[in-house]
Amino acid sequence: MDNTSPLISVEELAASLAGERPPVLLDIRFVLSAAGPTGASGADEYAAGHLPGAHFVDLEQVLAAPPGAPGHGGRHPLPDPEVLGAALRRAGVSADRAVVVYDAGPATAAARAWWVLRWAGHPAVRVLDGGFAAWQAAGLPVTDEVPAAQDGDFKPVPGQLATLDKDGAAELARTGLLLDSRAGERYRGEVEPLDPRAGHIPGAVSAPTFDNNAADGRFKSAAELAERFRALGADEHPVVGVYCGSGVTAAHNALALELAGYRTVLYPGSWSEWSSDPERPAATGPERG
């Protein structure tokens, strides 16, 4: 399987699954509120139908540690390597076997899995472009059969991707480029449905995650993404920082930036950590403050 791109198309994946050494499939569907409009969680959606052979990986239980104390870690801290490794091995993840992750479509949760596995040292992880929705739209098979537990050999080695802490995020916002991946109204401080305070890290630039997607839920082309990030000032800095509410959707911007050819660094604690620390200032309004 060609690993030059962090994305894989439905057509490429179908061909790879028919090959001699198919990739491990991980279903990362996730509903932030733990219950979507229909009352279904990610696990419920998986149980109702998934790609044949896919194992479900719970974002909050596996790809994140329990929430930290106020001001420390945020809502989705980086995972415990032992918990992460055990879950991935049960799903068949091995160091020498490619992995493909997918979610319902926009790739926000799948991008978190892509980033976490690379942070943990896995060398070959790709995201299904368009996710489960694209697979279904192509008329490809779906099943409710749950595969048996596997015996992979992957052992996480954390720290293979650089990260920012609060001080690093503050410094990058002042001297470089730190992108806020949340919706514009949250960046501006007009609403805050989840975290202690509204607003953004002073100096950060608004870059809503879903502007990376085309109407069909797939990522825009590399050229379109490069144009987007160039307009935000990415060409002027050797590395671009990203954050969001809790370090999940920021990975989507990290993926889009990589597609566009930029180096990134992620702030895992994100706004949930920053806003719960009373010593950290919050900026509001539409401009870089």
Q: How many whole angstroms separate alpha carbon 29 and alpha carbon 107? A: 9
Q: How many whole angstroms separate alpha carbon 289 and alpha carbon 63? A: 32
Q: Of 244, 251, 255, 259, which is the active-site residue? A: 244
Q: How many whole angstroms separate alpha carbon 239 and alpha carbon 236? A: 9
Give strand pairing partners of 127: 7, 101
Question: Would you call 167 a catalytic residue per the annotation?
Answer: no
Q: Which residues are catalytic?
A: 244
